[in-house]
A and B are shown apart, each in its own frame.
Chain A
């Protein structure tokens, strides 16, 4: 599903061909890199996947940013191989790719983990209920942990 999700925007948003080899390879690369990071983080974080300590935040940031570096460097090599960019621009392209991914991973992912996806877990029947009064405390904890990290 993640591969399909990576493939569809290339066709719809960037009007690339269905059989563009770089698009197909990147659509396989992204789920592999971020799926491996996600599986690793699933083992490291607690059962409800919330970020409850600085250690959780550091685990998330280190793993996700490393996966972003791997996908950015490998993805840039794919674009060079397919002659979408020239080799001289590879470092610039890789750094732009990494920064774009890193900003989303450091801001959007913690927000979703803390506030949005617990509701999705409950909707799917795999989460546990929690008192609403604890949410302000959780928001404060997340803010402090992200600031310190």
Chain B
């Protein structure tokens, strides 16, 4: 069960990252300048909590 859940998280993380990146495109205050780049915040939090093993598939 634990391994299945890990596989689910590994599979969904790249698509979440891509969707968050898309949101950064919509949040552009001026041309090519985004108010925030949320994928980085998501990636750092995921790395801190889940560790390097979840990122090295």
Using a CB–CB cutoff of 8 Å, the interface residues on chain A facing chain B are 1-2, 4-6, 8-9, 12-13, 30-31, 34-35, 37-39, 41-42, 45, 49, 64, 67-68, 96, 100-101, 103-105, 107-109, 112-113, 116-118, 120-121, 123-126
Contacts and interface: CB of A to CB of B under 8 A. Distances in A.
A129 to B, nearest CB: 15
Contacts, number: 129
Given A1-B55, A6-B17, A45 B48 contact: yes
A96 B47 contact: no
B10, B14, B45 pick with most chain A CB within 10 angstroms: B45
What does DSSP make chain B's interface, helix, strand, loop or mixed? helix
A49 B45 CA distance: 9
Interface of B: 1-2, 5-6, 9-10, 13-14, 17-18, 21-22, 24-25, 32-52, 54-57
Contacts of A2: 43, 47, 55
A96 B28 CA distance: 11
A47 to B, nearest CB: 11
A104 B57 contact: no
A25 B32 CA distance: 20
Nearest to B33: A96
Contact of A5 (B9, B24, B43, B50): B43
Nearest to B32: A96
B36 A107 contact: yes
Contacts of A124: 2, 5-6, 9, 50
Contacts of B14: 1, 4-5, 8
B18 A120 contact: no
A5 B18 contact: yes
Contact of B56 (A1, A49, A105): A1
Contact of A13 (B21, B40, B54, B57): B21
B44 to A, nearest CB: 5
